[in-house]
Amino acid sequence: MSAIWIVLVFLFGCARSARSETATADAPPEVDRVLLTGTLEATAAIEVRAPDVDESQLAVRWLVADRTTVKAGDRIAELDGTALVERLRIERRDLDTAETAARAAARSTAADLAAKRGAVRGAEIALEKAKLRAEIPADLVDARRAQDDKLELVRAEATLVATREELATLIQLQAIDAQMNTIALVRQRRAMKADETWLSDLVLRAPHDGLVAIADNDSTHKAFVVGDLVEKRRPVVLQPDLAKPMQVRTQLADVDDGRASIGQKATCTLDAFPEVPLDCEITRLAPVATVAMRDSTRRSFAVVLSITAPTLRLRPGMSVKVDLRGDS
């Protein structure tokens, strides 16, 4: 009985091995594939940047919704100008104070000049009188009186010269003071005007009709959101040029290093058009893997693929599935 069981087990094993070899022979060959997910982005875009203001960083106060269609001149972002508003208030107060002081100085200057011109006129009258007394014939006055009149004439002439010099000096000094006050006021007005311009520049507007996309924050590597800080002259919103070709940006995990190369063909499928797979090609591949945000254990290579779909309505931000085939 045991011999029969041994024979049956042997025959069952042979049959199973034959079936396994047949299944293996009929199975299609394995293909080395890497599946990635990425995002469609424009290859060319107009950058709407934060203004070049004195503040090194500005907070995002308001943002248009991503991928919104706008008209030229529409408000697409607004940066917080609280510090500029406060500085502008102080500048206006200081300018009002300076203008009030300048008007008071002008009135004081006018009074001083009037007084000094009056002194010159008085000296001129005194000189005329001294001349008249000095011209009286000597035989009509005593010798001492004649000598005193001549001395008085000399003093009157010296007084007039000194008074005129004082007037000229006062006019020159007051002209310098007035010029300096004017320069100071011009500088204050220019500073205030610059702050007013900067304050208006904190409202970013669309340069032309079209679609807008929110730029990435260099600190978070994600699109800007309200409350983020943006450095001056940095892009905040983008207006993609939809007439130019699109590209796909994705990440290749470091464990797949060597399974992608520049020029490698792939298939890109947009979530918006799943029924239309598109040919794409790797155009850029980062040489070094970088650490993923908030996860120091994950590293990946940045990958950019070109894509052509003239019959589809492509828009930046669309999700894309990328199929990299090792046999391509």
CB distance 317 to 213 below 8 Å: yes
The helix/strand/coil state of 63 is: strand
Mean residue pLDDT of the chain comes to 84
Say what angle helices 143-201 and 82-134 make with each other, to 10 degrees.
170
Structure tokens at 289: 């893997």
Of the candidates 69, 36, 25, the one whose C-alpha atom is nearest the C-alpha of residue 267 is 36
pLDDT for 20 beyond 70? no
Q: With cut-offs at 50, 70 and 90, classify the pLDDT of residue 317.
A: confident
The helix/strand/coil state of 52 is: coil
- What share of the chain has pLDDT > 70, as a percent? 86
247 beta partners: 41, 306
CB distance 236 to 49 below 8 Å: yes
Model confidence over 22-74: pLDDT tens digits? 444 454 455 568 899 999 888 888 999 999 887 778 899 999 998 889 999 99
CB distance 239 to 212 below 8 Å: yes
pLDDT for 10 beyond 80? no
CB distance 39 to 314 below 8 Å: no
- The answer as to CATH 2.40.30.170 being correct for domain 32-81+205-325 is yes
- pLDDT on residue 25: 47
Q: How far apart are CA 108 and CA 111, in angstroms?
A: 5
Count of other CB atoms within 10 angstroms of residue 90:
11
- pLDDT on residue 27: 47
Model confidence over 118-131: pLDDT tens digits? 999 998 898 888 88
Structure tokens at 222: 């994600």
Of the candidates 163, 156, 148, the one whose C-alpha atom is nearest the C-alpha of residue 130 is 156
- pLDDT on residue 236: 94
Q: How far apart are CA 303 and CA 298, in angstroms?
A: 16
Could you tell me the residue ranges of all domains in the chain? Answer: 32-81+205-325, 84-201
Lowest mean pLDDT among 18-32, 263-277, 302-316: 18-32
Of the candidates 249, 237, 254, the one whose C-alpha atom is nearest the C-alpha of residue 296 is 254
